[in-house]
Each structure stands twice: as C-alpha cells, then as structure tokens.
Amino acid sequence: HDHLIGAKQLSRADIESVLDRAAEFDADPTAFADAHPDALLALCFFEPSTRTKMSFETAIKRLGGDTVDMGTVESSSVKKGESLADTMRVVEGYADGIVLRHPSEGAARLAAEFVDVPVVNAGDGAGQHPSQTLLDLYTIRENAGLDDLTVGVMGDLKYGRTVHSLAGALTNFDARMHFISPESLRLPRNVRFDLHESGAVVKEHTDLDAVLEELDVLYVTRIQRERFPDESEYRAVAGEYRIDAETLADARDDLTVMHPLPRVDEIAPDIDDTDHARYFEQAHSGVPVRMALLDSML
Ligand code: CP
C-alpha cells in the first residue's frame, strides 16, 4: 500500500489526478455511496482537529464506508503510556487505512513502518500536512488556476506544516513564491533547501506591501502558539501580519485569500464578505479532495 506522508512524494501527475477525481466528487458528493462499501477508516488524532478529522469522516461515509475513532489522547490508552508503534499495530487490525495526526514531526513516517494498511499524515508537529495541500491546490486551481501563478504565503512559516507541504507541492507548477514573515518565523532550513534544489523562484520578505500587488493568491496562516518553546517568543510576534479590508486596498481585484483555518485574528472579519475570501470554500473542498484521496488509496 502507498502511504501519504509528505507533499514531496506527490508528482504533478499525482496531484492532477486527485484534483480531477475530486472535481467529479464535488459535482455530486452523494452519488458515490457504492464506491467503498464496508471500508473502515481509523481516525487517530493525538492533537485537536475540526476540519481534517470531520472532512475525512464525511469523505469515507460519502464513499459508503465508515470510521473507527481512537478518540482523544485523554480517552484512549495513549494516556496509560502505550507507544505510537503499538497503537498503530493494534489499529491496523481494525481498519483498512489510518489517518494520523500527532504532535511529533516524523510520527506518520514512523507509523507507516509498523503497518501494512495505508497511512495518511494528517499533520505531524511542524512537519507536513499533505492532504491539506491537495485541498489547497484544488482551491487555487478553481480560483486562480495553477499555471503562471504568483503566490504569497504569510505568517508562521517556521512551524506551519500546511506551509511546508504547500511550498513543496508548488515546485511542480513553476509558481513564483513569496514568503512573508517576521525574521524569527522564516521557513525552516530544510524547506528552503528543497525549494532551492527544485529551482523554484522564491523570495522572502518581512513586509506584505512589497509584493501584495503582484499576488494571485495570498495564503495566510495562524501563528502556531502550541509549537513555541517559550510563550514570550509567541507574544513577541502575535498580532503581527494581520490583514483587513484596508490592507487589501492595493491588491488585485481577483486576489484569492486563503487560510487553512482555524484563524485567530490574522484575517479580520471585514474580509469575509469580500470576493477575495475563499477560506471557507477551501475548508469545504476537504470533503471531495479527501474522497478522491481515499478512493485512490483504499
Ligand atoms: N486545516 C486544518 O488542519 O484544520 P484542523 O486542525 O481543524 O483539522
């Protein structure tokens, strides 16, 4: 079985195949209840989630299958000290695939070494979140197209796993990438290295105004408070890189504003009702995109 661990493993052809299939599911998600009858998907979320967990659950149910849910760390035997490896070896006997979210970077790769059913990395610490990337690309394709694209990615580029995965996947599409963050939250060295190796056109900025007018897409992220070793470091950057309708006055009319959500205060509510706002549509596309992903993996 193939696992989905990081965005780097996805070729342009892989991505386009999932997005094309997702468009079929999107047209009528209720028409595929016979696709995977009896399929069981294990949800193992060692960290909080609303979108990823619920959209995977919706996706497998739309395909005719069902979920088995580990519950929270507090309500499971993880609380008694069971290892990730043992948990995975047990759960693979219950389900046809495992969706794993975990606070440790590398957890999904480790899990995949212990099981034969496919594992989807639904977020491993500050590492990767590749199924989010597929729905992000779906939203970009729908709104701006994936050719001749200029993308700005702003906020917590250091700890933001959705950023690391999206940046890796965009190297398949000749996109121009602008990364906007405080100095202390720049992309990690390994992500910058991979972008450099791919030959991608990448620039880093501390100021959105430097590039705003050029952007087709502005992808905003939350400062990942839970990843900061020191609360004072978080407070030093919290509240920076916040956008509101006035910030976007100089943006192109067709600028697409995205956010993986949840947001705290990075996008003011006065943007929600503008034509720029695509973040709720983005979250909704998690269902057809994850249907397509599960359809190909199970
Ligand atoms: N975008 C995202 O991963 O959201 P959740 O943490 O709610 O799953």
- Which of the residues are catalytic? 51-52, 80, 101, 129
Structure tokens at 247: 């910030």
Within the chain, residue ranges assigned H as helices are 12-27, 51-62, 84-91, 107-114, 130-143, 161-170, 189-198, 231-237, 279-284, 286-297
Structure tokens at 116: 């034969």
Decide if 7-128+286-297 and 130-283 have a common fold.
Answer: yes
Q: Could you read off the pLDDT tens digit of each residue along the chain, which spans 298 residues?
A: 599 999 999 999 999 999 999 999 999 999 999 999 999 999 999 999 999 999 999 999 999 999 999 999 999 999 999 999 999 999 999 999 999 999 999 999 999 999 999 999 999 999 999 999 999 999 999 999 999 999 999 999 999 999 999 999 999 998 999 999 999 999 999 999 999 999 999 999 999 999 999 999 999 999 988 999 898 888 888 888 899 999 999 999 999 999 999 999 999 999 999 999 999 999 999 999 999 999 999 9
Does the beta carbon of 260 sit less than 6 angstroms from any atom of ligand 1?
yes
Atom of ligand 1 nearest to the CA of 101: 8
The residues spanned by each domain of the chain are 7-128+286-297, 130-283
ipTM: 0.99
Does the beta carbon of 160 sit less than 6 angstroms from any atom of ligand 1?
no
Residue 86: how many other CB atoms lie within 10 Å: 13
CATH classification of 130-283 is 3.40.50.1370, yes or no? Answer: yes
CA distance 98 to 91: 8
CA distance 57 to 67: 6
Q: Domain 7-128+286-297 has what CATH class? A: alpha beta
